[in-house]
Structure 1
Amino acid sequence: MLTISERLYKAAQPVWKECHEHPFVKGIGDGSLTIEQFRFYLLQDYLYLYDYARVFALGIVKSKDPKVMQLLSKSVDNILNGEMKIHRSYMERLGITEDQVFQVKPSLKNVAYTNYMLAVSHAGGIAEVLVSILACSWSYAEIGQVLAQAPGAADHTFYGEWITGYASPEYHSSNQALVELTDKLLEGCSEETYQRMEDIFVMCSRFELDFWEMSWRLES
């Protein structure tokens, strides 16, 4: 019998396959992505991560389990002081200051994605919070791992740092903790509850695909 996370993963596979095959993702892997496209993505993703951290913070507010609160608090720290280090490193290399980032307006698809996650999390409970963030965390972990396996990709002078960051044991450990917590909280849930979680997970996966497409086309 499949776990809840395995069912969610299976349901999202058609969308994730498109993510893996998207020219933006492939461009990071083979080094052909233009700096202009990556710069656009970097700025939008930096803004996205602040709202992403807020979703985790909502989980802390909604949880009554101290261990869950600690895990989510650690996740917020990992985003703001871990994952965003990759972005700040690239910003330094590209000559972008944090002040300049906040002069950038989030794109329409960026706003739609973060507003969806925040709305779902505000309206629901801790399970909705976890499922709404898991598509991003898990798909990035998988993309990083797949790209890192391509010959020379992890050693690329520019994109190698991005690839190794998301392929790192630390990032995978953090994601796996979220997967396991999702399974624990939703174990034995009703089919109606599962279907609601699947809808959220697949929708967020579609937003992830839209984010790659938006960045590829430089859509504001």
Structure 2
Amino acid sequence: MEFSERLIKKGQPILKQILKHPFVEGIGQGDVSKDALAFYVGQDFNYLNAFMKVYAAAIQKSNSRDQIQLFTNQIEFTLNSEIQPHIDFCKVAGIEYSTVQNDKQAPMTYLYNEHMYNAARTGDLIDVVASMLPCPWTYSVIGETLIEQGSSTESNPFKSWIDFYAGVNSEDKMLSVQLFDILDLEASKYSDEKLKEVEDRFLKSCELEWHFWDQAYYQRDWKFV
């Protein structure tokens, strides 16, 4: 079994819970509260800023020009294209995108970002990729699942969001395949003990994806600070 297959198998229970989350189901049904949408966009803006910095760390740890090109392209994509799903949510919420771009990190956003930063500071390329991969992987599956459920209809206000993440040619789908390939390539260099640590990073990011949706749905913020 390839290392990527092992991770995908281990991540299935968390992925199933993400797909069942009321925020994700609400996207499919075209019904998510404006407060949840606004909170999500503000936090995802924070998260993607961190994500690009972790890509920069991946460039430093890369072993080939192809890898450097991949991560460089993803920084550009995140800067210039991944704002579209944010704009889609803001439109439904009836707010300007600029109004949430100064939101401070909520607890789970902070935890998720620090989890990735830790991999960037202390790990090898395999650690960095494992900590980042659950984001594009879970989003591509969310998009595919919502398409299969028939949610991408003209009457659904989230149709554009769903279409962005769905399909075999979506950026997140293609990126997931490429990142899993990197993990398989790198895995052959490491002991079973090290690969268990990498697996732990991957699964923690999977769980933090669930918490990210949950945090936004219920607008869970700091209580005292």
Indicate whether the TM-score tops 0.5: yes
In structure 2, the partner of 1:191 is 192
In structure 1, the partner of 2:183 is 182
- The answer to whether 1:218 aligns with 2:219 is yes
Structure with more of its chain in helix, by fraction: 1
Deviation string 1:25-64 (CA, Å, 9 cap, x unpaired) is 1111111222221221122112211101111111001224
Alignment TM-score, normalising by the size of structure 1? 0.92
Deviation string 1:201-220 (CA, Å, 9 cap, x unpaired) is 11111111111111111111
Contact 2:42/2:102 (CA < 8 Å) preserved in 1?
no
Alignment TM-score, normalising by the size of structure 2? 0.90
- The answer to whether 1:95 aligns with 2:95 is yes
Task: Give matches, 1:126-145, under 5 Å.
Answer: 126-145=125-144
Q: Distance in 1 between matches of 2:194 and 2:106?
A: 32
Cα 1:152/1:11, change in 2 over 3 Å: closer
Task: Give matches, 1:147-186, under 5 Å.
Answer: 147-168=146-167, 169-171=169-171, 172-186=173-187
Q: Distance in 2 between matches of 1:187 and 1:145?
A: 31
- The answer to whether 1:124 aligns with 2:132 is no
| RMSD (Å), alpha carbons | 1.7
Contact 1:86/1:165 (CA < 8 Å) preserved in 2?
yes
Q: Distance in 2 between matches of 1:9 and 1:72?
A: 22
Cα 1:156/1:38, change in 2 over 3 Å: farther
Q: Which secondary structure does the structure 2 equivalent of 1:153 belong to?
A: coil
Structure 2, unaligned runs of 5 or more: none
Q: Distance in 2 between matches of 1:124 and 1:23?
A: 34
In structure 2, the partner of 1:200 is 201
Count of aligned residue pairs for this structure pair? 218
Cα 1:173/1:32, change in 2 over 3 Å: same
In structure 2, the partner of 1:7 is 6
